[in-house]
Amino acid sequence: MEIIPLGDSALVVRVREQFEDAPEERLNEVLRVFQLLQRAAIPGVVELAPAYTSVAVFFDPVAVLKSNGAANGVFDELATRIRSTIVPASRRHPRRTAANAPRLIEIPICYDAEFGFDLDRVAEHTKLSGPEIINLHSTGEYRVACIGFVPGFTFLAGLPRNLATPRRDVPRKEIPPGSVGIGGAQTGIYPLRSPGGWNLIGRTPLKLFDPAKNPPTLLHPGDRVRFRAITREEFESLKQ
Amino acid sequence: MTAIVQRAGFLTSVQDLGRTGFRQLGVSTSGALDSFALRVANLLVGNDEGAAGLEITLGGLQLRFEDERIVAWCGGEFDVQIGSRALPAGHVAQLQSGDGLKFRRAQFGCRCWLAISGGIDVPVVLGSRSTDLRANFGGLEGRTLRGGGVVPLARRPGSLPPPTPISSWAGPHDWVSPAKRYPVLRFIRGVDWSRFDDATMKRFTISEFSVSPDSDRMGVRLEGPELKRKHETDLISEAVAPGTIQVPPSGKPILLLGDCQTIGGYPKIAHVITVDLAVAAQLRAGDGVRFSEVSLEDAHCLLLERERDLDRFRIGVSLQRS
């Protein structure tokens, strides 16, 4: 495990170097570190950002100095606190990787051509028919590897390999909220109107990001996700 | 208790010190791009340092006040007027009901921050009054100010002795006017510094880069010598931070600012130090900028020193009032 400065007010705890070799395990390791750091509430730490193989720790150097003193400098002081938070816990529970059992969330998706602008493109690339693509996509189980790009945008791991399709050469300027896409070996949902280059194959009627709620996102890092194919009528009745 | 927006200017938004605590869900910092300038402006008018103010980009804003307020601003070299009187950066002005406040185009620099006694009274969304202009929430319904609209103001803080219309004293020059004619941004080495070849490392520190017109609150896009990596391998996405300089395959670096996304996959060559984000927030299209390396320890020392100076300034300001 490496701890590297990400500027003077953040650092990256690199838990692993690789992700694709064992996505499920890597994700559990990263989430364990994330949860331990969250619970430790180290003075001066402002927020955390987990991603595939790392957890970034954002901090206020002035607050770190005031609460911990920093004979060895702000960074070393904080890095020591972080190591002592993470390491003993993993020694205590060598086999327990994730602290909390992940939730399973079902997301309804309408795969009608009206929403799946790029189903043909995916079909051409994967040599699969439309119904085959929909069937494969909606029977798999995914996990939220991380959230970023825009608030609530979920990067989901677990896309069946034969559905992988390269991103569009020219990104769309505006993608409707709720659009479900495939970008390379990943799948994800656009929660907000935004630009984007992924191949769109359907749309969910659920609201994935709502700033009026706390927490503001439906999905959290580590959640298990299943997709359920729904009709156009169901889409309308579920629309939020 | 409002100020009327007669002209909204090029891009004016409500910002405070930023939104924290939701980064794991993809929520950006937003906030004043130079949060220190906003803190100083707030102190000058007797507000909490974290009160919401206005971030004004390239000027053009014109407000009319409906009650008495104390105002101060910090930032680029703007011409600001109350009627026919000039209000220089870092001075404190007492406005009467009906007074107008006008921000003309900046001579140089890009942005400034206006603090109004009482602060701007918009709802707190996810812990902050800042406008998230990418996700469209916070501030004034998630958008910029519009001409003909109003800016809601909170009740003024306790009794302040009325100063002369415009104070003769001002905040420290470096704080209230951080824009530089020849900006040099100090940086520490990026997470991916060693992925770049030696010539690129050298080029990064000796060349002048110019600010591209498609820069915004997300990032300053830079033109200059191409920055090349030793190997063009895909990196696993991880967190980026305001101040991070990332290099996309085009070889043209992007200096990320407060509205930047939370996670990115481009290599990070450098990180501009926090105290110099005040200078970075003043860069505008066509400006030249250079980079100079410092150690992480120096970056922290500079930040702590500035904080100690601010502690002293806070006392100084309260003495001016008593």
Q: How would residue A95 be classed by pLDDT, with cut points 50, 70 and 90?
A: low
The widest CA-to-CA distance across chain B, in whole angstroms, is 64
How many Å lie between the alpha carbon of B274 and the closest alpha carbon of chain A? 7
Residue of A nearest to B256 (CA): A7
What pLDDT is attached to residue A102? Answer: 86
Please, where are the H alpha helices in A11-93? 23-40, 61-68, 74-92
Beta bridge partners of B63: B5, B101
**B175 and B243 share one domain:** no
Q: What six digits make up the tokens of B187?
A: 């940086």
Distance CA A218, CA B105 (A): 43
End position of a domain, from candidates B159, B179, B199: B179
**B121 and B196 share one domain:** no
Domain with residue B192: its CATH number is 2.40.100.10
pTM: 0.94
No. of helices (H) and no. of strands (E), chain B: 5, 21
Q: Is 70 exceeded by the pLDDT of residue A202? A: yes
Question: Using a CB-CB distance cutoff of 8 angstroms, which residues of chain B are in contact with residue A53?
Answer: 236, 238
pLDDT tens sequence across A37-67: 999 999 999 999 999 999 999 999 999 988 8
Sketch out chain A's domains with CATH numbers.
2-92 (3.30.1360.40), 104-238 (2.40.100.10)
**B107 and B203 share one domain:** no
pLDDT tens sequence across A176-199: 999 999 998 889 999 999 888 999
Strands B85-86 and B80-82: antiparallel
Question: Using a CB-CB distance cutoff of 8 angstroms, which residues of chain B are in contact with residue A49?
Answer: 23-24, 239, 262-263
Q: Which residue carries 């770190």 as its tokens?
A: A64
What pLDDT is attached to residue B160? Answer: 60
- Where b means 16+ CB within 10 Å and e means fewer, A73-107 reads bbbebbbebbeebbeebbeeeeeebbbeebeeeeb
**B84 and B132 share one domain:** yes
Return the SS3 of B216: coil
In one letter, which amino acid is A182?
I
B202 in any annotated domain: yes
pLDDT tens sequence across B30-89: 999 999 999 999 999 999 999 999 999 999 999 999 999 999 999 999 999 999 999 999
Residue B139 neighbours by CB distance under 10 Å: 27
Range of the domain at B41: 2-179
Percent of residues, chain B, with pLDDT higher than 70: 97
- Supply the DSSP string of B45-90, one letter for each residue: HT--TT--EEEEESS-EEEEESS-EEEEEEESS--EEETTEE--TT
Distance CA B134, CA B99 (A): 33
**B45 and B146 share one domain:** yes
pLDDT tens sequence across B211-267: 999 999 999 999 999 999 988 877 889 999 999 999 998 899 999 999 999 999 899
CA neighbours closer than 13 Å in the CB half-sphere of residue A37: 30
Question: Using a CB-CB distance cutoff of 8 angstroms, which residues of chain B are in contact with residue A65?
Answer: 300, 304
B253 in any annotated domain: yes
Distance CA A73, CA B29 (A): 26
The gap between the terminal CA atoms of chain A, to the nearest Å, is 43
- Least Cα distance to B52 among B20, B16, B18, B19 occurs for B16
Which residues have CB under 8 Å from A41's CB, separation 6+?
none
Number of separate domains in chain B: 2
Q: Which residue carries 């059992």 as its tokens?
A: A101
Please, where are the H alpha helices in B177-253? 198-206
What are the strands of the beta sheet with B2-8, ordered from one edge?
A: B85-86, B80-82, B100-103, B61-65, B2-8, B150-152
- Which of B24, B244, B300 lies nearest to residue A147, judging by beta carbons? B24
Q: Is B315 on the interface with A (CB under 8 A)?
A: no
How many Å lie between the alpha carbon of B187 and the closest alpha carbon of chain A? 8
Q: How would residue B166 be classed by pLDDT, with cut points 50, 70 and 90?
A: confident
- Which of A51, A61, A212 lies nearest to residue B263, judging by beta carbons? A51
Distance CA A57, CA A50 (A): 9
**B203 and B112 share one domain:** no
Q: Are B86 and B101 in contact (CB under 8 A)?
A: no
B322 in any annotated domain: no
**B191 and B171 share one domain:** no
- Specify which of A67-76, A142-151, B163-172 reaches the highest per-range mean pLDDT: A142-151
Please, where are the H alpha helices in chain B? 35-45, 173-176, 198-206, 277-280, 296-321
CA-based R_g, chain B, Å: 20
Give, in order, the Cα–Cα distances in Å from B185 to each of B167, B182, B204, B207, B285. Answer: 32, 10, 12, 12, 16
B314 in any annotated domain: no
**B130 and B199 share one domain:** no
B317 in any annotated domain: no
User: How big is chain A, counted in residues?
Assistant: 240
Question: Using a CB-CB distance cutoff of 8 angstroms, which residues of chain A are in contact with residue B237?
Answer: 51-52, 146, 148, 155
What pLDDT is attached to residue A97? Answer: 46
Task: Find residues 120-139 of chain B whose CB sits inside 8 Å of chain A.
Answer: 125-126, 132, 134-138
How many Å lie between the alpha carbon of B9 and the closest alpha carbon of chain A? 25
**B19 and B129 share one domain:** yes
**B106 and B150 share one domain:** yes
Q: Is 70 exceeded by the pLDDT of residue A71? A: no
Q: Is A194 within 8 Å of B25 when comparing Cβ atoms? A: no
End position of a domain, from candidates B127, B155, B179: B179
Q: Is B238 within 8 Å of A217 when comparing Cβ atoms? A: no
Q: Is A12 within 8 Å of B25 when comparing Cβ atoms? A: no
Distance CA B63, CA B75 (A): 18
What pLDDT is attached to residue A105? Answer: 96
Residue B161 neighbours by CB distance under 10 Å: 8
pLDDT tens sequence across A96-115: 544 567 899 999 999 999 99
Burial of A41 (0-12, 13-18, 19+ CB in 10 A): exposed
B319 in any annotated domain: no
pLDDT tens sequence across A124-162: 999 999 999 999 999 999 999 999 989 999 999 999 999
Which residues have CB under 8 Å from B219's CB, separation 6+?
B254, B255, B256, B257, B260
**B219 and B252 share one domain:** yes
**B47 and B88 share one domain:** yes
B235 in any annotated domain: yes
Q: Are B48 and B120 in contact (CB under 8 A)?
A: no
Q: Is 60 exceeded by the pLDDT of residue B159? A: no
End position of a domain, from candidates B121, B146, B179: B179
What pLDDT is attached to residue A21? Answer: 84
The mean predicted confidence, pLDDT, of chain B is 94
B311 in any annotated domain: no
